[in-house]
A and B are shown apart, each in its own frame.
Chain A
Amino acid sequence: MDRRTTIKWVLAASASAPFLKGLAFGREAFAAGAGAHVPAATGYGTDPKLLNTFKLGELWPLTFTPAQRRTATALSDLVIPADDTSPSASAVGVVDFLDEWISAPYKNQRRDRKILLDGFKWLDRESAKRFSEPFAALSATQQRTICDDICYVAKAAHRFARAAKFFARYRDLTAGGFYSTPAGRKDLQYVGNTPLKSFEGPPLEVLKKVGLA
């Protein structure tokens, strides 16, 4: 991975200021020489109608087979299950988001397409080896025994190194798909994007907590 790609990955993960995105995404170019397994498609162009909303699959053909969709649903909901605060990832359309993402004709998405589709194959092979069933057919406990081996790149056994990188990216994308929805914003208690008469800065209780009041 070259430095630029590293910057992109690191900054893609940034939870801080939006101005960082200039470097994060500015250098992307269209993927060249796409292989036979990659569907031909063009992007939305340099002058899309920004006020439009787009139906799933309207901009470029989608990818997931029913089996891949089952795998994605199971894995997304392992990463983000329902809890007392918010629904599961698949319940808010994250699987559709992942399908749209890996089907897009842009360089980062082409890279993620390979990571995810290869990762799904690995998951099914590993599941068959351990439990004689595809990943989606396993019990949650069985699924977790596999995920526990690949959920932390720094501690993964050597033979799981590649699978761990897949899992890290999958978790990032699942989280990205989840927290960019109304349910995700509510979960994080984001309270902006609403007009205010004045901007009052942090309340006193916040300042106290940080030791600034």
Chain B
Amino acid sequence: MPFITSAIAAKETYDVIVVGSGAGGGQTAYTLTMDGARILMLEAGRNYDPVSETPMFHTPELAPLRGEGTADKPFGFYDATIDGGWQVPGEPYVQTRTDDAGRFDWWRARMLGGRTNHWGRIALRNGPYDFKPYTRDGLGFDWPISYEDMAPYYDKVEMLVGVYGANEGLENTPNSPPGCLLPPPKPKVSDLLVAARAGKLGIPVIPGHRAVLTQQLDWKTSPAKLHPGNAAAQKIIAEDMQRRAACFWATPCGRGCSIRANYQSTTVHLPPALATGKLDIVTDAMVNEVTLGKDGRATGVGFVDKTTGKHQQVSARVVVLAASACESVRILLNSKSSLFPHGLANSSGKVGKYIMDTVGSSLDGQVPLLESLPPHNEDGASGLHMYIPWWLYQQAAKLGFARGYHVEFGGGKGMPDVGTAAGLEWLTGGSYGAKFKQDARRYYGSFVGFDGRGEMIPNEHSWCEIDPSVKDKWGIPVLRFHWQWSDHETRQAAHMQKTFAEIIEAMGGRVRGHVETDGAKAIAPGGSIIHEVGGAIMGADAKTSVTNKWCQTWDVKNLFLTDGAPFASNADKNPTLTIMANAWRVADRILERMRQKEL
């Protein structure tokens, strides 16, 4: 009986409580249960089943407002996210500034699997530089681990969840060992055109990495590599891998995937973890505190059962927070005691500090070469097939900003929607009537959009704390955010704009709108890229970090974090793959320490 009530959970004892069910919580629970540990997972949102709830082939005319995004469903009606967004009813937060340059918008997804249900599935490894940024340029912080420490776990996660990509051997863009990656999908015509023309500018365009099965996982070979010496685990995952279908090249990944062809925690991590019989899950469990014993060890967590409104307590030998970086911070800061009057595990005063997002800026262009092409199916893998990795590592001194960005781009004739033939006046000269219909056919599929995704350096002005007065609907104090970009980020955003314009022009295209050379205006507001990390960074020194290299809090030995909170930097690479690899690494450590009876 894996999905249980809070009352039943309260009577049980567990080895480990995992708070959160997304990339971090899912991977933690998977690794721990596969090795026999008894786990209770608590999820603040409702149970969610992508297999039965996903409107895979629904077309826009079946949805309210043709599926366009609203405050209730920010990424569109059919997006997988439920009870989520930058604003969640009943769950406020406070922003000290609300202008674009000084705001942090906090995304939450209150559902089983969290934001992994809708994410972009872009799964890039951090490179060696990304773990030692301070050593390279004196800014930010080094991680207390290196690429070599993380690499075996990247290998495992890629084999487990399924990631397509290719090994290009470019600087700080690691190759994966044989057997890790699935073949990348064939490029679309817009990919090939970008590759040819950007290539002339010296900008590399290579196959992207996304957590989508372009073929069935290697269920014959991988299980033994994932779980050496553990026949039971190998059997479970081999069976589960065979139940996941390969991509059928249709329907948006963001809706979730009922054939389990892409990674989301609910289709990849939780089913095998549940199959072990070692995982109990309580949904609608809004955790507000980690409880502390007199010996200074965590005894468990307290939460509000949203179905009854009652407070409950559950206990375990170890507590792992994976509630999303800022939610984990909130739980720590709300866990006050005589031992920790300023929040649990906060003797350094660093809990809540160094919140990071990704630098984002976008531009798109219209490319005459792509007009009126013969119709062909361009749905592909529903996300990028190719991308541009950062290519100017050796020129940082000249650029005026220290860290790099990668470029996600895409074009083609996607499913027509409300925006497809909108905003064409600059091309058509204001046509309407029969001429407009001809113009719509001509321009459909002739646009290519570019999104920069860059590294933000942690700073003292981007942080969060508990607001002294505002509480959520359950009476739990909420976060107050402070935010500020540095010149390293805004200059990078301006460089993105310049680069995108150059590529569009090299394709013989025309930029739509305005190339924003003022970086402060070109940069997307904090939190809008939804790559929230930091807030409880790991480090080598208990005075300047919240956790050690095992993401174990310095202050409370049986308390760990496996979401983005311990990230000491936020490389341009999208964080999800690293969250998973790190969670596996930490879970292995917890297992080892439990075997040693330290935990």
User: CA separation between A104 and B364, bound complex, in Å?
Assistant: 29
B380 within 8 Å of A (CB atoms): yes
Chain A, range 68-103, C-beta contacts under 8 Å to B: 78-81, 83, 85-86, 93, 97, 100-101
B1 within 8 Å of A (CB atoms): no
**CB atoms of B71 and A177 under 8 A apart:** no
- A3 interface neighbour in B100, B425, B436, B449, Cβ under 8 Å: B100
User: Which of A15, A25, A47, A50 is the most central at the interface, judged by chain B CB atoms within 10 Å of its CB?
Assistant: A15
Assuming the A-B contacts A25-B74, A177-B66, are A199 and B376 also in contact, with contact meaning beta carbons closer than 8 angstroms in the complex? no
User: CA separation between A151 and B90, bound complex, in Å?
Assistant: 44
**CB atoms of B88 and A101 under 8 A apart:** no
User: CA separation between A89 and B250, bound complex, in Å?
Assistant: 27
**CB atoms of B447 and A14 under 8 A apart:** yes
User: Which of B67, B82, B376 is the most central at the interface, judged by chain A CB atoms within 10 Å of its CB?
Assistant: B376
A157 within 8 Å of B (CB atoms): no
User: CA separation between A181 and B61, bound complex, in Å?
Assistant: 6
**CB atoms of A14 and B449 under 8 A apart:** yes
User: CA separation between A101 and B416, bound complex, in Å?
Assistant: 17
B410 within 8 Å of A (CB atoms): yes
Residues of B within 8 A of A175 (CB): 420-422, 436, 440
A193 within 8 Å of B (CB atoms): yes
User: CA separation between A19 and B448, bound complex, in Å?
Assistant: 12
User: CA separation between A54 and B186, bound complex, in Å?
Assistant: 38
**CB atoms of B383 and A47 under 8 A apart:** no
Q: List 5 A-B contacts (CB under 8 A).
A: A13-B424, A25-B68, A104-B64, A152-B429, A205-B374
**CB atoms of B430 and A152 under 8 A apart:** yes
**CB atoms of B69 and A26 under 8 A apart:** yes
Residues of B within 8 A of A26 (CB): 69, 74-75, 85-86, 528
A118 within 8 Å of B (CB atoms): no
Assuming the A-B contacts A10-B423, A23-B360, A29-B87, are A188 and B377 also in contact, with contact meaning beta carbons closer than 8 angstroms in the complex? no
Chain A, range 119-177, C-beta contacts under 8 Å to B: 144, 147, 151-155, 167-168, 171-173, 175-177
User: CA separation between A99 and B220, bound complex, in Å?
Assistant: 56
A114 within 8 Å of B (CB atoms): no
User: CA separation between A172 and B430, bound complex, in Å?
Assistant: 11
Taking the closest CB of chain A, its distance from the CB of B513, in whole angstroms, is 5
Taking the closest CB of chain A, its distance from the CB of B275, in whole angstroms, is 27
A66 within 8 Å of B (CB atoms): no
**CB atoms of B421 and A25 under 8 A apart:** no
**CB atoms of A176 and B87 under 8 A apart:** no
Residues of B within 8 A of A78 (CB): 432-433
**CB atoms of B419 and A192 under 8 A apart:** no
User: CA separation between A28 and B423, bound complex, in Å?
Assistant: 19
User: CA separation between A11 and B362, bound complex, in Å?
Assistant: 10
**CB atoms of A16 and B364 under 8 A apart:** yes
Residues of B within 8 A of A196 (CB): 248-250, 377
* Per-residue contact bits, chain B 170-202, to A (CB 8 Å; 1 contact, 0 not): 000000000000000111110011001000000
Stretch at the interface among B4-12, B52-60, B396-404: B52-60
Question: What total of chain B residues lie within 8 Å of the partner, measured CB to CB?
Answer: 113
User: CA separation between A178 and B147, bound complex, in Å?
Assistant: 51
User: CA separation between A78 and B186, bound complex, in Å?
Assistant: 41
A116 within 8 Å of B (CB atoms): no
B414 within 8 Å of A (CB atoms): yes
A182 within 8 Å of B (CB atoms): yes
**CB atoms of B83 and A29 under 8 A apart:** no
A64 within 8 Å of B (CB atoms): no
A209 within 8 Å of B (CB atoms): yes
Which residue of chain B has its CB nearest to the CB of A196?
A: B249
Which residue of chain B has its CB nearest to the CB of A192?
A: B379
**CB atoms of A106 and B71 under 8 A apart:** yes
**CB atoms of B72 and A48 under 8 A apart:** yes
User: CA separation between A107 and B87, bound complex, in Å?
Assistant: 14
Residues of A within 8 A of B251 (CB): 193
Residues of B within 8 A of A40 (CB): none
User: Which of A144, A178, A195 is the most central at the interface, judged by chain B CB atoms within 10 Å of its CB?
Assistant: A195
A35 within 8 Å of B (CB atoms): no
**CB atoms of A203 and B374 under 8 A apart:** yes
B134 within 8 Å of A (CB atoms): no
B65 within 8 Å of A (CB atoms): yes
Taking the closest CB of chain A, its distance from the CB of B196, in whole angstroms, is 6
Taking the closest CB of chain A, its distance from the CB of B44, in whole angstroms, is 13
Residues of A within 8 A of B424 (CB): 13
Which residue of chain B has its CB nearest to the CB of A203?
A: B376
Taking the closest CB of chain A, its distance from the CB of B227, in whole angstroms, is 31
Chain A, range 169-213, C-beta contacts under 8 Å to B: 171-173, 175-182, 184-185, 187-203, 205-207, 209-212
A65 within 8 Å of B (CB atoms): no
B113 within 8 Å of A (CB atoms): no
Residues of B within 8 A of A21 (CB): 69, 75-76
User: Which of B88, B423, B431, B441 is the most central at the interface, judged by chain A CB atoms within 10 Å of its CB?
Assistant: B423
Chain B, range 506-534, C-beta contacts under 8 Å to A: 512-513, 521, 524-525, 528-530
Assuming the A-B contacts A47-B46, A106-B70, are A176 and B186 also in contact, with contact meaning beta carbons closer than 8 angstroms in the complex? no
